[in-house]
Amino acid sequence: MKQEFEALYQEYFPRIYAFLYKLTESHDLAEELTQETFYQAFVSFYRFRGDSDVFTWLASIGKHTYYRYLRKNKHMADNINTEELIELYEGEATEHLADTVERRMLAECAKKALLSLPKKYQDVMILRVYAEMSYAQIGDSLHISENSARVIYYRAKRMLLEEIQNEYHV
């Protein structure tokens, strides 16, 4: 079993890391969550029945690991490190900096809006956007039909757009 899992780790680590990096936008945190994801997968490997794709199973564990992290570190999700932002764009034109800050604020607003959605909408959006899963894979992962995954995704998209428009008073 150890060799099987090691092969699985080697094959899927880059994809799970990329998925979690898209969610966290932090290399260190993505690395930490990826390690935790594979640890959780190893502990529950005996329960994997093969009903879904291995990546779907691992991404689901990764998503839950990310949610646990957010719950434990709720205060950190709202913090914006302005010092880091200033250092990052030091020396750039003010206009470009303003555009960059606005894009970052919009991205932060979108992330907050996503996390405020009901769980089923969050799950589908995260798996579709960040894990880049097909509707069929999402359906397998969440035990819903492919069509339900598609409908939930489009409803979630509409809800996010409305939330962002309300936040930005567009």
The pLDDT score that the predictor gives to residue 111 is: 79
Residue pLDDT, tens place only, 147-168:
999 999 999 999 988 887 887 6
Q: What is the pLDDT of residue 22?
A: 86
Find how far residue 59's CA is from the centre of its chain: 9
The reported pLDDT for the residue numbered 81 is 39
Q: What is the residue whose two structure tokens read 């035990």?
A: 143
pTM of the model: 0.60
Residue-wise pLDDT tens digits, 15-25:
999 989 888 88
Residue pair 81/41 in contact (Cβ under 8 Å)? The answer is no
Three-class SS string for 53-64? CHHHHHHHHHHH
Q: What pLDDT is recorded for position 78?
A: 46
Structure tokens, 139 = 């359906």
Given this model, what pLDDT does residue 100 score?
Answer: 66
Mean predicted lDDT score pLDDT of the chain: 80
- Could you give the CA distance from residue 166 to residue 40 in angstroms, rounded to a whole number? 38
Residue whose token pair is 């969610």? 23
What is the DSSP secondary structure assignment for residue 127, as one 8-state letter?
Answer: I
Short-list 131, 129, 96, 84, CA closest to 111: 129
Domains of the chain: 1-79 (1.10.1740.10), 106-170 (1.10.10.10)
